[in-house]
Each structure stands twice: as C-alpha cells, then as structure tokens.
Structure 1
Amino acid sequence: MKKTRLDIDRIRAARRMIDPVFLDTPLYRCEALEARIGCAVSVKLETANPVRSFKGRGTEVVASLLADSGQGAVVCASAGNLGQALAWSGRGRGLDVTVVASRFAAAVKLDRIRALGAGLELVDGDHEMARERAADIARHEGIRLVEDSLDIETCEGAATIGLELVDGAPSFDTVLIALGGGALATGVGHVLKTLAPGVEVICVQPLGAPAMTYSWRGRRVVTTESTDTIADGVAGRCPLPAVLDDLLLVADDAVLVREASIIAGMRMLLDDAGLVVEPSAALGVAAILEDRDRFAERRVVTVVCGSNVDVDAYRRWVGTAAGPGA
C-alpha cells in the first residue's frame, strides 16, 4: 500500500514546535449559517492568530528547525500568507527572512510582510515567477528555500489542524478544505485518513485556478497557462508532483466552484457567522452552495483558512455579490 510523505508521529512532534497562539483554534457549529445553506456545518477557524491564516503552523515548524540547526537566513515565494507567517516565525527566532511575491499581490498582505520585518522583493509576473526568483536567491546566497507544500514541514504543520479535529471527538462526516498548493489538504487529509478514515475529505478550488483539481482528476500533473480568480491564496498554475502523489492518497473528491459562489460564501460568513474572510476561506461554503443536495444530510466541517483581505476589494465583493443562495 502506498504511503504519503507525512507521518503521524512527526505531526505530533511538529505540534510541540508551534507557538500555542496558533493551536487549538475554535471549532463550533454555526446554526445561523446552517439555516441558510441547508446542512449541519461547523467552522474550524484559522484566522484568530497573529498572521490571520493557518500558514503559521507550518512556518513555526520550519523556523524552529532552522534555528535549532544554526541557519540564519531563509527565502520563500508567497502570494502573501506564507510570507507573513514566515516573517513572523523567523523574527521570533532571529532569522533573516526574504519573501518574493508578485507586485500584483494584495497590498494588505505585502504591507504586513514588510511590517513584520522581512525583506520583500517583487516580480512583475505571477506566483510561479516568484517561485523561480526565490529559488535563484537561495542558490546565489546559499540559504534555505522554503517551498510551501513541497517542504514536508509546511504540510505537517498544517496537519496539526487534523489532529485537533480528530481529538475533538468529531461529530462530522465530511471536511471541506481549500486546495491550492496542497499543504492544507494533504496535511489534514493524511490525519483524517489515518485516524478517522470514515470522514470524507473534499478539496475545493476555484474554477479560475483549477490546476491541482485537474491533476487530481487525471492522476497526473496538469498545468495551466494562467489563473483568473479573486482567491489569490490558491491561484497556482503548476502543481508539484510529490504533493499530487500525496493528495491522490488522501482526497476523496476535488471540486471546482464559480467566483459568484465564492463571493456568496464570503457574504454568508459575514452575515451569519460574523467572519470577515479572504476568498480562499469561503471555498467550502461555496462548494455547499453549488451542490446543496449532496450535502443536505451531511455533518460538515469547513476550514476557514485565512482573513487577509483588502478592505476595499472585500467591500466591493460583499456589497455586490449575487450567487447561489445569496
């Protein structure tokens, strides 16, 4: 039987390296939201921490291991959330952090990276170009390159969310997980398939950034020429083969959702849960809105993975949204 790159014992060890501010995040049923979407739904809230996303779990593991080994510098490419998280974790351990991002990334995320003390280099292309530039810097300067989802620390840090779901005596049968590079989906999925195999793991991606979903469906890496989605946190074009191999072992399904559904999900999370979230964090709700019959009898958990969103853009989206269930 094939195995993923992840390991439950290492995940439990990773949890001990993570600052408690990122751990034991709220998990609660949202009855007001249930009334609107037609199924039992609980929220796993990964936004109430210093970097407003789940990424801090993985960067805490990365930074802890780097500091213990005496390494002093690190570079990553980021659409915004990983960069913030690595800047926060690195600052606390005396690491020199450089983040490479697209100049078209959300300004609020770029400003936060700078505020956390990281060096920030901008490229004129998309996230894939930022990845290439970060790799160049790592080679030229001889420093550690952190590659989200490829570096197992990022996956096993994210996987600690799965431990909390399982250890909380789960009363759910389905988990909806935003799918981008794959760290969150493979990490949480591995824990659930190991410790709670009866739970269905469904990954959700925007229709405008479908590369990993197409890859999962085809069981081979499928790249796309471009992306077109407001969910910048999951807008990758080039899936990593090792990550896809893991995803194929832990995901029961991968679905694509429309932009209108993402916006409707953001509005519902605001109106019914009091949560301001970035588009990637609304993917789970969007999936339910697009297939209500599938989820009608389910007890669902959706992982609300981030809340780093440009306020003006958020107001435009939420103020004008029109989609399924809106």
Structure 2
Amino acid sequence: MTTPALVDIDDIRAAAERIAPLVQTTPMEESRAISSMVGARVLLKCEHLQRTGSFKIRGAANRIACLSEAERAAGVVCASAGNHAQGVALSATRMGVESTVFMPADAPLPKVEATRGYGARVVLTGSNFDEALAAARTHCEEVGATFVPPFDHADVIAGQGTLGLEMLAQAPDMAQVLVPIGGGGLVAGIAAAIKATAPHVRVIGVEPAGAASTRASLDAGHPVTLDSVSTIADGIAVKRPGELTLAHIEQLVDDVVTVSDEAIARAILLLVERAKQVVEPAGAAGLAALLDGAVETREPTVALLCGGNVDPLLLNRIIQSGMYEEGRYLVVTTRVGDQPGVLATLLTLLAEQRANVIGIEHHRLNTKLGVQEVEVQIEMETRGHDHIHLLVEKLEEAGYPVEAELPPGALA
C-alpha cells in the first residue's frame, strides 16, 4: 500500500498566510497553579478563545481558500454537529461562498443557531451524524458543491498545522505539547509543523479511553473502525481516524495515550477554578493526561485547550463529576426513625463535621424500611477524601447505616 504524501512546512506556512485575515492569535498563558501541581512549568494554549470557539476554523478556512473560483461559485457543504460546522460557516461567509451544513435532527439548539448565525444554511436530517454525513455527500453530488471534510484532507491538516507554528513562536523553549485527538487532523498538522522546525519537541496525542480509535489503529497498523464510542468528549468521539491523518501520526507523533472521562472532568474543574478558563471536554483532554500521569512530565509542557463550546447544562454535570472525583461532593443514603427531631440530630452531626448539606430527600415507601423508619438521601459538599472517610465513620459510629458510592480516594 502506497504511503500518502504528508503535509510539509511550506504547505503550513502558505496556509498561515491564507487564513490570517480570518483567525486570531490566541493567548499562551502559564498556569502557576497547575505548574505547582505537576512540579514543572505548564503553559496553556488557549485556542478555545479562537473565533467560533475552536481550532476548526483554521482547517476549514484553508480548505475553502484553496478552492477555484468555479468551486467557490458552486458552494461548500459539510456535515457536523458542532465545531466544524461553525468553522465552515464563518469561513465561507467571510469569503463570499455559500455554505450548507447538514446536522443531525437532534443537534443541540445553541450549535444550530450559532451555525446559522455565521451564515450557513442548516439542514437538520437523520438521527445521528452518519446519517447527516450521508445526506451531505448526496447533496454534493446532486448540486456539484465541494465537500469540506473535518480532518482527512491535506488542506485541512495544513490549516490546523498553523497552530503548531503559532505555539513555537509563543513558546520557543517548549519541550512537549499535548494535543487532543479525534479524527487526527489537529495533531497531524501540529506535528508536521513542529517536527519540521523543532524536531526535539515531543508531540503527544491524547484521546478518550471510550473513543480510542487512533490508539487501536496504531496498534493494528491500519485504520480501525470502533463498533461504538462512549465519552463525555463528544468533540473527539470519532470511530475511525482518517487514512491521511493516521499516516502523519505514525511518522510524526511521538506517542498517543488515552485518558478517562473522570480525568477529563477533573481537568475541566481545575481549569474553571484555578485558571479561570471554560473549555469543552475535548479541549481538556491533553491537560487531563498530564494531571493523571498518563504522560511524562517535561518542562515546559504546552497543553492545548482546543475548544470551548460546551453546553451549560453539560458543564454543570461535568463540574459536579469533577468535584466527586476530587472528594468534594458526596451523596449518602441512610435510615432514621420517623419521629420529630431525629432529622435535626442527623444534620447536627454532619454540621459538627463541617459537611455542607446542599440537598436532602425523605422516602417513606421502601420495602427495606421498617414501619417507623424513613430513608434519607443527603447531598453534601465535602473537603476531600479524608473528610469523606471521616464522615462515613462518624455516621456509622452514631448508628446510621450508610449507603454511598465513594470516589476511589475515599475508599482507604
């Protein structure tokens, strides 16, 4: 099988010139809090502050800029439920090209409205991304429009590679960069830029354990299609990497590691609290790998925060999950007598242990309860794994049976 030609540094430099009017240079910031936690200097590349909220506009803009006048006149089409849709829509509009974006019928309304707001015609069709993709390709054939792929195209890879040039300019002394992986276009482009100009810098790809198609493909020696994916990082939940992107990864990327959803949730919580940055789960994957010990610590390390388009309701659940993993949130179920003052006694015990009760429910109907018993479920803010262990111990000593799913650190 012939190895496809890789994107080179000249392609990426040319892309940087083409897309300069459309993209902005995003900040590179050192996080003293995170650096202290890992014992090495950590820089955050804040690409989530890019126009449209993600890196995707770089590759989309370069692909559209490379079209002929006839191709531009025929318009462009893509299929996406999120960041790629917005990148294509804004890029096309700014270049005077009509764009049509196919999205699943149940795509999140904020992403649909954002895509329309950037000037695209949005077609909601199908129950999932694959069905929307099939409809998009059929439409291209019918009207003669150009399909803009999300990752597996040389122009797209070159556009994403402009991030590599930007990071080198902002942190010429960086030792390694951590890059989230979905289809592989981002890490392919960044690796092409960095290895051509600073080959000593390690490029590490990071993908969620529940959607590790690139790791599986590298192990197999060819692109592998996963039967299913399951991760909170929907922006990088890809069943199969591209053939061109995989070729870049095989030759240029130093390692690809996986990270759990729990680690991603902890990273998002840390970014919100300590770095004052709000990112989507895909955008936090690289930092999660560093914090979770999945990658070697080198100084300085750049963690690429590649996207920030996260639904507020999902963000709330993720933060709660992160707090649970950190031992700062606990739900316990116990039983008390159904008499006046009994609940007050229980709450007083918790207050003495400095647990902050944020929710409480009573249940009288349960086959496990005695006639004079009430089941009580209590939500609490706690102060770490040791505090959780102490709370459970004090409750049991006082005669309250405890049912609770404890985070791993509180199981000692």
TM-score normalized by the length of structure 2: 0.74
SS of 2:63's partner is helix
> What does 1:81-160 align with in structure 2 at a 5 Å threshold?
81-160=83-162
> What does 1:156-175 align with in structure 2 at a 5 Å threshold?
156-175=158-177
Change (3 A) 1:298 1:57: same
Structure 2: any 5+ residue segments left out of the alignment? 329-412
Change (3 A) 1:119 1:319: same
Change (3 A) 1:224 1:89: same
In terms of mean alpha carbon deviation, does 152-161 or 104-113 score higher?
104-113
Structure 1 residue 115, shift from structure 2 partner: 1.8
Over alpha carbons, which structure has the higher Rg?
Answer: 2
Q: Is the 8 A contact 1:281 1:304 kept in 2?
A: yes
Whole-Å Cα distance in 2 between the matches of residues 104 and 205 of structure 1? 25
Q: Is the 8 A contact 1:202 1:254 kept in 2?
A: yes
Structure 1 residue 132, shift from structure 2 partner: 2.3
Correspondent of 2:259 among 241, 246, 257: 257
Change (3 A) 1:325 1:282: farther
Which residue does 1:13 correspond to in 2?
14
In terms of mean alpha carbon deviation, does 294-303 or 156-165 score higher?
294-303
Which residue does 2:247 correspond to in 1?
245
Change (3 A) 1:21 1:42: farther
Q: Is the 8 A contact 1:67 1:93 kept in 2?
A: no
**Which of 1 and 2 has higher RCO (CA within 8 Å, sep 6+)?**
1
Q: Is the 8 A contact 1:56 1:82 kept in 2?
A: yes
Which residue does 1:56 correspond to in 2?
57
Whole-Å Cα distance in 2 between the matches of residues 233 and 130 of structure 1? 16
Whole-Å Cα distance in 2 between the matches of residues 139 and 129 of structure 1? 16
Which residue does 2:40 correspond to in 1?
39
Whole-Å Cα distance in 1 between the matches of residues 288 and 108 of structure 2? 22
Structure 1 residue ranges, 4+ long, deviating more than 6 angstroms after superposition: none
Q: Is the 8 A contact 1:290 1:324 kept in 2?
A: no
Correspondent of 2:282 among 260, 264, 280: 280
Q: Is the 8 A contact 2:60 2:148 kept in 1?
A: no
Q: Which amino acid aligns with 1:63?
A: I
SS of 2:257's partner is strand
Q: Which amino acid aligns with 1:45?
A: C
Which residue does 2:66 correspond to in 1?
65
TM-score normalized by the length of structure 1: 0.92
Q: Which amino acid aligns with 2:307?
A: G
Q: Is the 8 A contact 1:128 1:238 kept in 2?
A: no
Structure 1: any 5+ residue segments left out of the alignment? none
Q: Is the 8 A contact 2:208 2:285 kept in 1?
A: yes
Q: Is the 8 A contact 1:264 1:325 kept in 2?
A: no
Q: Which amino acid aligns with 1:260?
A: E
Q: Is the 8 A contact 1:193 1:199 kept in 2?
A: yes
Per-residue CA shift, 1:48-100, capped at 9, x if unaligned? 23301111111221222337455221101113101101101111122111112
Whole-Å Cα distance in 1 between the matches of residues 132 and 257 of structure 2? 27
Which residue does 1:218 correspond to in 2?
220
In terms of mean alpha carbon deviation, does 283-292 or 9-18 score higher?
283-292
Structure 1 residue 149, shift from structure 2 partner: 1.4
Q: Is the 8 A contact 1:76 1:134 kept in 2?
A: yes
